[in-house]
């Protein structure tokens, strides 16, 4: 230790951990962070079924037709949950529909939802393998 470091240590106390230990801890923390980010990315990309809204159309005052796109492995069956919403974002209609196995990876599905009031939008809540 030179004179300046010795005076600092006398005044403020010695460091709680050495520089080498701090470097090792930072390296380990960075490795854990990268592993967690990679794992979350893998889980989101490898989701068995992904559903996206394509659009909706008002068939009648109490019926809305919803188009949605499914991305899933060919031969997979799915069960999807779709809801219709009013202007206050309250649920006015709900349907759970079975999608049979498809021959292509991406398919567009349509379902009609009977509503208990005027629906202004719709959304796919999710799809799971059947």
Q: Which of 125, 53, 51, 122 is nearest to 93 (CA)?
A: 122
> What is the predicted pLDDT for the residue at 88?
93
Positive or negative, the Cα torsion across 81, 92, 115, 60?
A: negative
Q: Which residue from 119, 75, 72, 71 is spatially nearest to 100, judged by alpha carbons? A: 75
Helix, strand and coil percent figures for the chain, each rounded to 5:
30, 45, 30
Distance (Å, rounded) from C-alpha 3 to C-alpha 8?
Answer: 9
Residue pLDDT tens, the chain, 130 long: 566 767 777 777 767 788 899 999 999 999 999 999 999 888 776 668 889 999 999 998 899 999 999 999 888 899 999 999 999 999 999 999 999 998 999 999 999 999 998 899 999 999 998 8
Token pair recorded at residue 5: 């470091």
Please tell me whether the overall predicted TM-score, pTM, comes out greater than 0.85 for this model: no
């Amino acid at each position: 230790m030179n004179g300046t470091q010795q005076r600092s240590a006398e005044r403020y106390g010695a460091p709680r951990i050495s520089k080498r230990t701090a470097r090792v801890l930072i390296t380990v923390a960075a490795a854990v962070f990268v592993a967690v980010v990679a794992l979350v990315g893998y889980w989101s990309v490898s989701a068995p079924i992904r559903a996206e809204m394509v659009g909706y159309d008002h068939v009648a005052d109490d019926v809305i037709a919803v188009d949605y796109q499914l991305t899933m492995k060919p031969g997979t069956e799915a069960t999807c949950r779709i809801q219709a919403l009013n202007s206050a974002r309250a649920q006015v209609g709900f349907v759970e529909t079975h999608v049979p196995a498809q021959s292509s990876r991406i398919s567009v599905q349509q379902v009609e939802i009977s509503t208990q009031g005027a629906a202004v939008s719709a959304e796919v809540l999710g799809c799971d393998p059947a």
